[in-house]
Amino acid sequence: MGRLDGKVALITGTAGGQGAAAARLFAAEGAVVCGADIDAERAQRVASQVRAAGGRMHCHAPVDLADPDAARDWVREAVAAAGGIDVLYNNASAPWVGPFSETGWAQWRFSMRNELDLIFTVTSAAWPHLIARGGGVVINTASVSAHRGARFIEQAAHGAAKGGVLAITRHLAAAGARHRIRANSISPGLIVTPQIQPFLDQPGHPVHRMRESHPLGRLGTPEDVASVALFLASDDARYLNAVDIVVDGGQSLIS
How far apart, in whole angstroms, are the C-alpha atoms of residue 16 and residue 195? 9
Paired with 246 in beta bridges are: 187
How far apart, in whole angstroms, are the C-alpha atoms of residue 185 and residue 91? 10
CA atoms within 13 A on the CB side of 134: 1
Backbone dihedral angles phi then psi of residue 64, each to the nearest 5 degrees = -90, 95
Q: Tens-of-pLDDT digits for all 255 residues of the chain?
A: 899 999 999 999 999 999 999 999 999 999 999 999 999 999 999 999 999 999 999 999 999 999 999 999 999 999 999 999 999 999 999 988 889 999 999 999 999 999 999 999 999 999 999 999 999 999 999 999 888 887 667 889 999 999 999 999 999 999 999 999 999 999 998 887 777 767 767 786 777 777 667 888 888 899 999 999 999 999 999 999 999 999 999 888 886
Contact 16, 24 (CB under 8 A): no
Q: Which domains does the chain have, with CATH numbers?
A: 8-246 (3.40.50.720)
What is the pTM for the complete model shown? 0.93
